[in-house]
Amino acid sequence: MRRLSVLLLVLLQVLLSACGGSMEQNGDEPEEKETVPEVEEPAVIQVATCNLLKPSGRCDEMSLTMDKVRNALAYSIIGTGASLIAFNELDATFLPGGTNDLKVMCGGIRPSWRWKLDWPNDITSAGTLAYSYSNGYAYDSAVLDHEASGYVWLAKSTDTWYTDPEKAYEKVGSPERTCIWIRFRHKASSKRFYFFVSHMPTKDQGGAPNMAAVVNRFAAEKARTLPAILAGDMNFGPGKETYSILTQWWTDSNTATWGTLSGSSHDYYYDVDTFTKNRPDRRIDHILTRGCSASDYRTVVFTYSHDGKEWCPSDHLPVTATITIE
């Protein structure tokens, strides 16, 4: 009987072995190795927007012929710490080789930076293009791959945009308002996103609410399901019609109590002591998002001394934020 029990035990072990099992002497179950899913890292990018105020609109004490003004402007741009920055109110002097060449003014910032400033924005009836109220951007090519870009002209009163400047002039005159689009790929994460740069008209110039709606529709058609960022001087803050239209499609995560535009009186226009303090209604330079998130908004203040006061180098403070694309 004992011999039969031993034979049965041996037979059972053979059968278990054939089925891929085993008979543990201590009665423990064999350990299973856990499969750990790969975690996809988000893309984290520092983004900024800066309205430079075109030199032809500057008052004497703000002239960029003064080194201290140029230096303060350069430091305010560098101080954003951005890998991607939008510019408004460029004119030809800011372009490569111009008297206020931004790349030269900023000392190159980093060798990997690329400057894309040559986007004409003003049209004459002859079809001649000029740089006035122009938009532009710069980016760090060590962080981002520039895949494609272009721009459109925004209509003031119709729900459309134009890719041909002569057609834009024929239909609406010189609107002096455009929207640049760029598709980037974040190198570290391989995530793609769209960056839009625009500059809305003031209330007196007219057409801003309609242009805001056109920007929304254009961005929706261009970006489709990809994350998107809109940056620039929208000339209107929270509670205004243009802002309300933009935020029907875009998200504004900024809760800052400081504005970015100082006011209209040249008596204090650039004086940092009165520069938008506790005036959220003057927060008109925005970084808005779609399909991603923004945090850590801040304004960048670099000043210079003039006439016994500390002055800002533009009538706008640069705004910067951290963008996260999950």
Mean pLDDT of 112-135: 88
Query: Pick the residue with more confidence: 58 or 141?
Result: 141
Cα 225 to Cα 28, 87, 192, 217, 292: the distances in Å are: 51, 26, 10, 13, 11
Q: Residue 235 has what DSSP assignment?
A: S
Evaluate whether residue 22 is within a structural domain: no
Q: What is the pLDDT of residue 145?
A: 98
Residue 223: partners with Cβ closer than 8 Å, 6 or more residues away: 193, 194, 290, 291
C-alpha dihedral over 79, 300, 201, 104, to 10 degrees?
-30
Evaluate whether residue 296 is within a structural domain: yes
Domain range for 181: 43-325
Across 61-70, 173-182, 190-199, the highest mean pLDDT is recorded for: 190-199
Evaluate whether residue 23 is within a structural domain: no
The yes-or-no verdict on residue 17 having pLDDT over 60 is no
Residue 119: partners with Cβ closer than 8 Å, 6 or more residues away: 134, 135, 136, 151, 178, 180
322: exposed, middle or buried (Cβ count in 10 Å: 0-12, 13-18, 19+): middle
Evaluate whether residue 287 is within a structural domain: yes
The yes-or-no verdict on residue 80 having pLDDT over 70 is yes
Least confident of 23-32, 90-99, 115-124, 220-229: 23-32
Angstrom distance (rounded) from CA 244 to CA 262: 22
Q: Scanning the structure block, which residue is given the tokens 């801003």?
A: 208
Domain count of the fold of the chain? 1
Task: Give pLDDT tens digits for 164-182.
Answer: 888 888 887 777 799 999 9
Angstrom distance (rounded) from CA 84 to CA 182: 11
Evaluate whether residue 159 is within a structural domain: yes
Mean pLDDT of 12-28: 42
Evaluate whether residue 17 is within a structural domain: no
Mean pLDDT of 22-49: 65
